């Protein structure tokens, strides 16, 4: 577009930085107006905080936006009438019940007035030097006045290795519920299914509101990109936006990564309009910049002995292109058509690539795929949801597939965006 006013090199550099700052592929969202979608989940959590004796569990795949959701919840609960005392902690693999709740109590403080002297700030943890029990937690949380409501978010709960912590936290939540304490606990963790997260403590499921975080819709991903472009004065085409949100496969991390790199490419050629070629440049940049753990797992999964040509990389690419159900699972048969497109004219029989798919389920190939289901109806899925978008974007960046092949297995439709510029 040639309509923009003349800008100096410094202006373009400043815009480049503005774009880089407004996208956050590496960090949860902290600002309300940059948070896309998730209205149902937010509403449920706000209701939970407002109801005595209710607590919640937020679960979903890695990277779908669980932490961002609880950040925005904290912002939404600000009210002049009631102060929400929000405390958020990340669980560590080695945490005990004591160390987990001590982290919470270290972040809750109060002032003590000493005769004549200045007030002294003490944390709740100062009052509990010895082993914390569920009863201590219940008592402390009951001590808040009616004008203050504690909200405790226990993030990364799935990382805790000791099952006793789950049981004692379950007991605590149950006691808070039974005594109708005006405090809300939100447990957050990576899990496909809520029972994975509470490991056999189904009794707490009754006092917990379950908030499932699905992958984001393509519309929501579009919103992530256009809201930031709008803020920076950038526009894009429907086609470019469709492609970025298609490639992201419901994972907001990729919408940030591709959206940011495409914008930088446009700015690099001194344009405020992000077009299809900028998305192409973003594919290469995204592959280069991607989280090292995903790249590492990919190269281990497809490596071949002594440099020989093997089918591992094309079969993994075909798996990433296979049509899946809403849980990301696909059958072996669904890989045939994409493989024929990736390697035209070869017509590999399923028995040939079955070997590769099974090998992907081994530890040696990082269990990049998981196999499950009855022997007659076996299905596969990528164990890391961040992997398939990488595999496809890499396939495009390396020229192994074209856009047409990447998209042929999906139906295209216009995106619905709330405030399209
Ligand atoms: N609603 C949203 N709008 C815009 N960006 C989002 C949204 N949700 C998540 N993101 C972005 O997606 C990425 C992952 O988000 P977040 O860290 O909140 O996910 P998570 O589910 O907590 O991940 P993990 O399982 O690794 O803890 C971040 O880059 C974040 O900025
Ligand atoms: Mg998180």
Give the pLDDT confidence score for residue 325 in this predicted structure.
84
CATH code assigned to 292-385: 1.10.10
CA–centroid distance, 389 to ligand 1, in Å, is 16
Phi-psi region at 322: left, alpha or beta (left = phi > 0; alpha = psi -120 to 50): beta
Give the pLDDT confidence score for residue 414 in this predicted structure.
67
Instruction: Calculate helix-pair angle for 238-248, 276-289, nearest 10 degrees.
Output: 30
Residue-wise pLDDT for 137-175, tens only, equals: 999 899 888 888 899 999 999 999 998 998 899 889 989
Tokens coding 101: 């709740």
Give the pLDDT confidence score for residue 64 in this predicted structure.
94
Give the pLDDT confidence score for residue 125 in this predicted structure.
81
Element (H or E) spanning 85, and its range?
A: strand 83-90
Residue-wise pLDDT for 170-192, tens only, equals: 889 989 998 888 899 999 999 87
- Name which residue leads in pLDDT, 383 or 201: 383
Taking alpha carbons only, the member of 214, 33, 187, 212 closest to residue 101 is: 187
CA–centroid distance, 319 to ligand 2, in Å, is 27
Which atom of ligand 1 sits closest to the CA of residue 25?
A: 29
Residue-wise pLDDT for 63-108, tens only, equals: 999 999 999 998 888 777 778 889 999 999 999 999 999 999 999 8
Give the pLDDT confidence score for residue 145 in this predicted structure.
81
Which atom of ligand 1 sits closest to the CA of residue 60?
A: 21
Ligand 1 contact, 25 CB (< 6 A)? yes
**Residue of minimum CA distance from atom 29 in ligand 1:** 25
Ligand 1 contact, 405 CB (< 6 A)? no
Give the pLDDT confidence score for residue 376 in this predicted structure.
85
**Residue whose CB lies within 8 A of the most ligand 1 atoms, among 63, 69, 186, for a mutation test:** 63
Q: Is the pLDDT confidence value at 247 over 90?
A: yes
Q: Is the pLDDT confidence value at 1 over 50?
A: no
Which atom of ligand 1 sits closest to the CA of residue 29?
A: 31
Give the pLDDT confidence score for residue 127 in this predicted structure.
79
Stretch 376-401: mean pLDDT, rounded? 92
Q: Which residues of 363-381 are buried (b: 16+ CB within 10 A; e: fewer)?
A: eebbbbbeeeeeeeeebbb
Domain range list for the chain: 38-213, 292-385
Tokens coding 334: 């669904």
Ligand 1 contact, 228 CB (< 6 A)? no
CA–centroid distance, 160 to ligand 1, in Å, is 21
CA–centroid distance, 189 to ligand 2, in Å, is 7
Most confident of 122-136, 244-258, 342-356: 244-258
Stretch 195-208: mean pLDDT, rounded? 72
| Structure confidence at residue 421 as a pLDDT band (50, 70, 90) | very low
Give the pLDDT confidence score for residue 90 in this predicted structure.
97
Q: Is the pLDDT confidence value at 17 over 90?
A: yes
Q: Fold match between 38-213 and 292-385?
A: no
Ligand 1 contact, 236 CB (< 6 A)? no
Residue-wise pLDDT for 259-311, tens only, equals: 999 999 999 999 999 999 999 999 999 999 888 899 999 999 999 876 666 89
CA–centroid distance, 387 to ligand 2, in Å, is 17
Ligand 1 contact, 68 CB (< 6 A)? yes
Ligand 1 contact, 256 CB (< 6 A)? yes
Ligand 1 contact, 252 CB (< 6 A)? yes
CA–centroid distance, 388 to ligand 1, in Å, is 17
Stretch 400-419: mean pLDDT, rounded? 68
Give the pLDDT confidence score for residue 128 in this predicted structure.
79
Question: Which residues are CB-contacts of 312 (< 8 A; sequence separation ≥ 6)?
Answer: 301, 302, 303, 304, 356, 359, 360, 365
Q: Is the pLDDT confidence value at 121 over 90?
A: no
CA–centroid distance, 24 to ligand 1, in Å, is 9
Q: In what order do the strands lie in the sheet with 369-372?
A: 330-331, 379-382, 369-372
Question: Which residues are CB-contacts of 12 (< 8 A; sequence separation ≥ 6)?
Answer: 267, 270
Homologous superfamily, domain 38-213: P-loop containing nucleotide triphosphate hydrolases (3.40.50.300)
Distances (CA, A) of 38 to 44, 84, 141: 10, 21, 29
Tokens coding 197: 């997260």
């Amino acid at each position: 577009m040639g309509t923009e006013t003349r800008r100096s090199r410094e202006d373009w550099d400043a815009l480049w930085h503005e774009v880089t700052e407004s996208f956050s592929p590496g960090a949860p969202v902290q600002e309300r107006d940059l948070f896309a979608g998730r209205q149902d989940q937010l509403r449920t959590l706000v209701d939970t905080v407002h109801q005595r004796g209710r607590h919640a569990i937020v679960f979903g795949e890695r990277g779908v936006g669980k932490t961002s959701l609880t950040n925005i919840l904290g912002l939404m609960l600000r009210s002049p009438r009631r102060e929400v005392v929000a405390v958020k902690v990340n669980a560590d693999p080695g945490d005990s019940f004591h160390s987990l709740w001590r982290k919470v109590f270290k972040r809750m403080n109060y002032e003590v007035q000493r005769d004549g002297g200045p007030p002294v700030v003490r944390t709740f943890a100062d009052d509990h030097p010895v082993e914390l029990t569920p009863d201590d937690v219940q008592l402390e949380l009951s001590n808040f006045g009616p004008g203050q409501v504690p909200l405790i978010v226990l993030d990364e709960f799935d990382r805790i290795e000791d099952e006793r912590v789950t049981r004692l936290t379950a007991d605590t939540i149950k006691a808070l519920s039974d005594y109708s304490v005006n405090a809300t606990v939100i447990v957050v963790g990576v899990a496909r299914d809520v029972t994975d997260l509470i490991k056999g403590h189904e009794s707490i499921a009754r006092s917990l509101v379950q908030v499932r975080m699905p992958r984001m819709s393509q519309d929501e991903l579009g919103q992530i990109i256009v809201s930031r472009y709008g803020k920076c004065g950038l526009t894009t085409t429907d086609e470019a936006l469709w492609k970025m949100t298609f490639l992201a496969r419901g994972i907001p991390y990729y919408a940030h990564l591709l959206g940011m790199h495409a914008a930088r490419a446009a700015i690099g050629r001194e344009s405020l309009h992000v077009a299809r070629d900028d998305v192409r440049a973003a594919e290469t940049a995204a592959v280069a910049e991607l989280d090292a753990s995903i790249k590492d797992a990919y190269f281990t999964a497809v490596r071949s002995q002594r440099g020989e040509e093997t089918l591992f990389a094309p079969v993994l690419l075909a798996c990433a292109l296979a049509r899946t159900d809403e849980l990301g699972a696909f059958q072996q048969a669904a890989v045939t058509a994409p493989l024929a497109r990736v390697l035209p004219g070869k017509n590999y029989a399923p028995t040939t690539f079955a070997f590769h798919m099974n090998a992907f389920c081994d530890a040696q190939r990082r269990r990049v795929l998981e196999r499950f289901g009855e022997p007659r109806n076996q299905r596969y899925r990528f164990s890391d949801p961040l992997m398939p978008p990488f595999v496809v974007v890499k396939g495009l960046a390396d020229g192994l597939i074209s856009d047409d092949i990447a998209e042929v297995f999906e139906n295209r439709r216009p995106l619905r965006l709330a405030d399209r510029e």
